[in-house]
């Protein structure tokens, strides 16, 4: 009995097709992986931006006094903004909140100004000059924390009544920046 | 020779089939992932659009804010200059691009339907550069219209008896008293001065009788006055003339001192989230006096009045101890409903008294006036005199079967105050009537209906200030109060 195996041409063709298929699969897999990673990055960036804008908006909408002079143009926008807390008004005196871009982190710092000679005496931010026997600034413990990371840009501009907020999130070096824009109209003056 | 089966060629066939299966699977997978990616992309774009729309909303609120001194803020002057629908309504659109992301933009429309709306709507549309991702944000904010109405249908009449506004009948629209035939007494009666502003329209079939003087704008004033009789006791005739800023005053009598300019429509905060709104005040009383009811739904109170009138208990009167009673929805008093309120009665919708609700209708004398509303200023809850009156966010309608309407205080209506078809008993108020429009179409019957009787206000302004933080001042049209707002999603 004569049992014949595969012909050489069969094997060559099958191997070629299998190689092409394997190549396509590998390429697709890599591409899909990238797309999935990109999608995950976008979602992460979106949720990070939402945290920043929502938190800043909530505090700023109710803010009393805006300490910083807010430039009208985005190009001159501030990366840090300080204002008087209008939500949790402390009977002991005014409390201030600062949102700032620290490296790639956005920090929220709640603090007050006090007399160095009388630490319990809280003062408005402009009540004196640091270093001239007036007051020093101190952060309340536990009130300084990071609210978001992987932030490549944070800007405040507009006016003290209508503050524009721009932020960009870069989840990793491969992803593109995800930029978000919003604005807050202050209720209090 | 036995036949040998041919076993050649299955490898290629198998590979081809596998390749086809794999290709189909891969294509499907790629399509699914592609859709997923597009969804993800769409989701993030929607979030971006949402915040751009939010920026538009904030932009509009600032432009409408009376605190805004920017040159393009929406004030009376630039509202008129832009030939918008003001002062009858608010209709302003802004289109802006985001400076740091120029293809992105928002379009925001702020509108209100006019005098009686009491609220403005801000509709903001945020759009990303792709042009397909949009987000919409709706916001309702309280808007109060001032007195300075310049369109013909909004000519203002202010009628007051004293410069300190101790008493005031004030309407931003017409004050039109047009009795039916044979009604001799329709008119305006005042124990003090009367004031008519420029561009007003005053039509009274009966006499205008003021104790002191009637104040008119100087010629060439554009006020249209027609009446059968003008009389001023102190001024020996209808001759006390005064005008406005930068105009000379002269007087034939002794009561031509002082200045009455445009009196802002006092915007009382009825139901905002502020602590000093009447709704919040009622909530506060609820906390202070557990067990005392300060809140009713309209159906709840109407049922209570219905039951009490049928039982006859307390003379058929439902008695609310006050110092404030807040009713949600529109309140109608009809049949034999009787209500006695101590303090303020606040109705969040419209208020009607004397109507024939539900289509039931009968004619006098088959149906006699029987609805009674009494509001007085002593609250058993606090055992003290309190601010009193009827405050209605919608309109007030006094209709046929109203027997008694005795308000010992303020009557305030953000909408119209309409009187129709009264007879037998007067409407009595000891305070001011403040309404967008005051329409007295009484006289349907040739009967003994009396005038609306008005007296000096008996409550003290300071008490009113304490309770409602005073009427909010309104400066220019369109003034929008943006202290708090409600949002619709």
Which SS3 state, helix, strand or coil, does residue B288 take? helix
Beta strands in A77-187 (DSSP E): 80-84, 96-102, 105-115, 122-123, 135-148, 151-158, 162-169, 178-185
Cα separation, B193 vs B254, whole angstroms: 11
Cα separation, A100 vs A139, whole angstroms: 14
Interface contact A181, partner B, CB < 8 A? yes
- Mutate one of A14, A62, A165, A189 to test the B interface: name it (highest B CB count within 10 A): A14
Task: Look at B33-37, B60-64, B228-232 and tell me which has the smallest mean pLDDT.
Answer: B228-232
Of B488, B486, B484, B487, the closest CA to residue B269 belongs to B484
- Mutate one of B34, B44, B74, B110 to test the A interface: name it (highest A CB count within 10 A): B44
Q: What integer pLDDT is reported at residue A97 of this predicted model?
A: 92
Task: Give the list of residues 6+ apart from residue B357 with CB closer than 8 angstroms, or none.
Answer: B332, B334, B335
Helical segments of B264-334, H only: 278-288, 298-311
Buried b (16+ CB within 10 A) or exposed e, A108-120: bbbbbbbbeeeee
DSSP run (H or E) holding B413:
strand B410-419
Task: Give the list of residues 6+ apart from residue B355 with CB closer than 8 angstroms, or none.
Answer: B332, B333, B334, B397, B399, B400, B401
Q: What integer pLDDT is reported at residue A148 of this predicted model?
A: 93
Chain A residues closer than 8 Å to B8 by CB = 4, 6-7, 10
pTM of the model: 0.52
Of B374, B400, B369, B401, the closest CA to residue B389 belongs to B374
Chain A residues closer than 8 Å to B18 by CB = 21
Task: Give the list of residues 6+ apart from residue B187 with CB closer than 8 angstroms, or none.
Answer: B177, B204, B205, B206, B207, B208, B209, B227, B229, B451
Q: Do the Cβ atoms of A32 and B29 come within 8 Å?
A: yes
Cα separation, B419 vs B437, whole angstroms: 11
Which SS3 state, helix, strand or coil, does residue B380 take? coil
Residue range B205-229: mean pLDDT, rounded: 45
pLDDT digit string, tens, across residues A21-67: 788 878 878 887 887 888 888 888 999 999 999 999 999 988 988 99
pLDDT digit string, tens, across residues A118-144: 677 777 777 655 555 555 556 565 588
pLDDT digit string, tens, across residues B239-295: 333 322 222 233 333 333 332 333 445 556 777 666 667 888 888 899 999 989 999
Residue B393 CA: distances (Å) to CA of A82, A185, A188, B341: 40, 27, 26, 18
Burial class (CB in 10 A: 0-12, 13-18, 19+), B488: exposed
Size of interface A-B (CB pairs under 8 A): 112
To the nearest whole Å, the CA of B262 is away from the closest chain A CA by 27
Q: What integer pLDDT is reported at residue B425 of this predicted model?
A: 58
């Amino acid at each position: 009995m004569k049992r014949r195996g595969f012909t050489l041409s069969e094997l060559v063709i099958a191997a070629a097709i299998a190689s092409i298929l394997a190549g396509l699969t590998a390429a697709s897999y890599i591409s899909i992986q990238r797309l999935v990673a990109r999608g995950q990055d976008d979602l992460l960036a979106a949720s990070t931006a939402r945290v920043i804008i929502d938190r800043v908006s909530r505090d700023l909408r109710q803010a009393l006094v805006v300490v910083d002079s807010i430039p009208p143009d985005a190009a001159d926008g501030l990366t840090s903004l300080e204002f008087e807390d209008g939500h949790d008004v402390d009977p002991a005196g005014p409390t201030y909140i600062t949102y700032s871009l620290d490296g790639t982190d956005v920090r929220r710092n709640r603090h007050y100004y006090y007399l160095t000679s009388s630490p319990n005496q809280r003062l408005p931010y402009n009540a004196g000059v640091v270093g001239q026997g007036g007051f020093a600034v101190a952060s309340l413990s536990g009130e300084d924390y990071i609210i978001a990371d992987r932030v490549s840009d944070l800007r405040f501009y507009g006016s003290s009544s209508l503050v524009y907020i721009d932020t960009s999130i870069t989840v990793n070096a491969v992803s593109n920046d995800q930029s978000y824009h919003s604005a807050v109209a202050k209720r209090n003056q | 020779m036995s036949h040998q089966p041919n076993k050649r060629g299955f490898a290629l066939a198998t590979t081809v089939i596998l390749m086809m299966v794999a290709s189909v699977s891969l294509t499907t997978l790629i399509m699914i992932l592609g859709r997923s990616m597009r969804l993800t992309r769409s989701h993030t774009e929607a979030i971006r659009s949402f915040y751009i729309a939010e920026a538009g909303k904030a932009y509009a609120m600032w432009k409408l804010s009376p605190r805004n001194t920017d040159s393009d803020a929406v004030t009376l002057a630039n509202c008129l200059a832009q030939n918008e629908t003001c002062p009858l309504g608010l209709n302003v659109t802004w289109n802006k691009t985001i400076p740091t992301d120029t293809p992105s933009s928002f379009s925001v429309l702020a509108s209100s339907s006019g005098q009686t709306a009491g609220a403005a709507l801000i509709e903001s549309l945020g759009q990303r550069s792709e042009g397909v991702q949009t987000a919409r944000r709706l916001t309702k904010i309280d808007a109060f219209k001032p007195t300075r109405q310049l369109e013909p249908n909004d000519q203002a009449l202010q009628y007051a008896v004293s410069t300190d506004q101790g008493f005031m009948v004030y309407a931003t629209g017409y004050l039109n008293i047009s009795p039916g035939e044979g009604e001799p007494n329709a008119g305006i009666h005042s124990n003090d001065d009367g004031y008519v502003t420029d561009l007003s329209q005053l039509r009274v079939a009966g006499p205008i009788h003021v104790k002191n003087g009637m104040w008119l704008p100087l010629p060439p004033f554009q006020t249209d006055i027609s009446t059968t009789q003008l009389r001023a006791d102190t001024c020996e005739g209808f001759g006390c003339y005064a005008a406005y800023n930068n105009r000379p005053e002269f007087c034939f009598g002794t009561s031509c001192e002082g200045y009455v300019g445009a009196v802002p429509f006092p915007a009382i905060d009825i139901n905002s989230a502020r602590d000093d709104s009447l709704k919040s005040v009622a909530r506060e009383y609820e906390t202070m006096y557990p067990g005392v009811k300060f809140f009713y739904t309209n159906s709840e109170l109407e049922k209570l009045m219905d039951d009490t009138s049928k039982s006859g208990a307390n003379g058929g009167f439902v008695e609310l101890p006050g110092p404030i009673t807040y009713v949600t929805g529109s309140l109608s008093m009809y049949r034999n409903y009787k209500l006695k309120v101590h303090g303020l009665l606040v109705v969040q919708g419209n208020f009607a008294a004397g109507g024939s609700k539900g289509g039931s209708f009968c004619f006098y004398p088959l149906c006699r006036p029987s609805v009674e509303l009494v509001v007085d200023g002593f609250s058993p809850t606090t055992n003290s005199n309190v601010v009193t009156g009827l405050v209605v966010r919608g309109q007030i309608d006094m209709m046929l079967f109203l027997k008694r309407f005795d308000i010992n205080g303020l009557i305030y209506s953000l909408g119209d105050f309409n009187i129709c078809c009264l007879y037998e008993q007067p409407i009595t108020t000891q305070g001011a009537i403040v309404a967008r429009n005051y329409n007295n179409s009484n006289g349907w019957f040739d009967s003994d209906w009396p005038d609306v009787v008005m007296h000096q206000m008996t409550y003290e302004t300071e008490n009113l200030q304490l309770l409602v933080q005073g009427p909010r001042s309104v400066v220019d049209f369109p003034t929008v109060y943006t202290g708090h707002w409600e949002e619709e999603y």
